[in-house]
Amino acid sequence: MHIGLEMNGVVVIDKPPGMTSHDVVLDVRKVAEVKKAGHTGTLDPLATGVLPVCVGEATKLVPFLVSVTKDYRVSMLLGVRTDTLDVEGAVLAEKEPQVTDRSVIDALQGFLGRSEQVPPRYSAVKVRGKALYKWARQGIVVDSPPRMVEIYDLTVEQISLPYVTFRMSCSGGTYVRSLCAAVGELLGCGACVAGLRRTRSGIFSEAAAIVLDGKDRPGDDERVRSGLISMAELLPDMKAIVPDDTWVKKIKDGVHPRVEMVNRRDDIPFLDSGDMVKLTVGNGELIAIAELLCGSRELAGLQNDVPVMKLLRVFKEN
């Protein structure tokens, strides 16, 4: 059964080691027979675990699903520095780690909270229109500006030198490789990532992840179809507004919602200008994401024909 034209949603793939995130997306496109697919956050080839892949109309949601909390299980190797900050890179220096369990735990937990982080030279971050790893492969050193990241929780599970295993929860855009390298510098011995598994990305967990065989296409097709998370289930924390049928058609045609659509102040309680809402129909189908142009308190004083929202994405699932 060919289902490509009907597929709109997210499928969570358990990425195997050795594949790039782009490779996984290409696999999903072939299996699902869809033209459009995209992941919500790169995993290094070394890494495994949760890689949400948006298919069909859900690709329009990628920017809204990238900057979410992510959980990882990490194996860090102390005493080794590499050019890629993981064990797959060229070794730059080695040094016997002279550390105690307490010093390792303190060093890791010292990175809890907000801090500036410089992305690795070998990463997908774009500088001057090109990914850093492409500059690095050309032997060109390009400085990437630091960015603010946050580590919410970090728990050391095991220390068996030179390896340290820990779990962490962090903001989107946090590089575990950069964290391990920084810990190694703090401990004076260097460090790199030996193993990495993403266990959660926002609302997507490893319990929902499916494994693609890459050989049994009919079986893969069934796994993708049964594992598809509908667009109606995405963005659960975003306030939903259900317009009437007249406005549903207008919104799908790209007309920005006006005051007359939000006919009661309680439709957008406690929301302010700049906040985002999702527009749905009665069965939960997602038809658009919009940005408020005014808060709920200002509605009462506006004329019915004044635009109250700016459409950011419009979805046409059917």
- pLDDT tens digits along 143-179: 777 789 999 999 999 999 999 999 999 998 899 999 9
Q: What is the pLDDT at residue 2?
A: 42
pTM here is: 0.87
244 is catalytic: no
Q: Which residue, 74, 81, 13, 71, is CA-closest to 47?
A: 74
Question: How far is it, in rounded angstroms, from Cα 47 to Cα 15?
Answer: 8
Q: What is the pLDDT at residue 6?
A: 65
Can you name the residues that pair with 55 across neighbouring β-strands? 9, 37
Average pLDDT over residues 76-85: 96
Q: b/e per residue, 296-316, with b = 16+ CB within 10 A? A: bebbeebeeeeebbebebbbe
- Per mean pLDDT, which of 111-120, 123-132, 141-150 is the most reliable? 111-120
Q: Which residue, 68, 62, 57, 78, is CA-closest to 9?
A: 57
Residue that wins the pLDDT comparison between 11 and 142? 11
Average pLDDT over residues 50-77: 94
**Per-residue pLDDT at 59 exceeds 90:** yes
Q: Which of 14, 27, 44, 71 is catalytic?
A: 44
**Per-residue pLDDT at 261 exceeds 50:** yes
Question: How far is it, in rounded angstroms, from Cα 144 to Cα 60?
Answer: 27
| Confidence bin at 127 (pLDDT 50/70/90) | low
What is the share, in percent, of the chain residues with pLDDT greater than 70?
86
Question: How far is it, in rounded angstroms, from Cα 245 to Cα 234?
Answer: 22
Domains for the chain: give ranges and CATH numbers.
4-67+203-233 (3.30.2350.10), 70-201 (3.30.2350.10), 240-314 (2.30.130.10)
Say if residues 13 and 55 touch (Cβ distance below 8 Å).
no
Q: What is the pLDDT at residue 5?
A: 44
Orientation angle between helical segments 217-227 and 21-32, nearest 10 degrees: 100
3-class SS of residue 102: helix
Q: Which stretches of the chain are assigned E, i.e. beta strand?
A: 9-15, 37-39, 48-55, 70-78, 80-82, 91-94, 113-117, 126-127, 130-131, 147-160, 163-170, 191-201, 204-205, 229-230, 240-241, 276-280, 286-292, 309-314
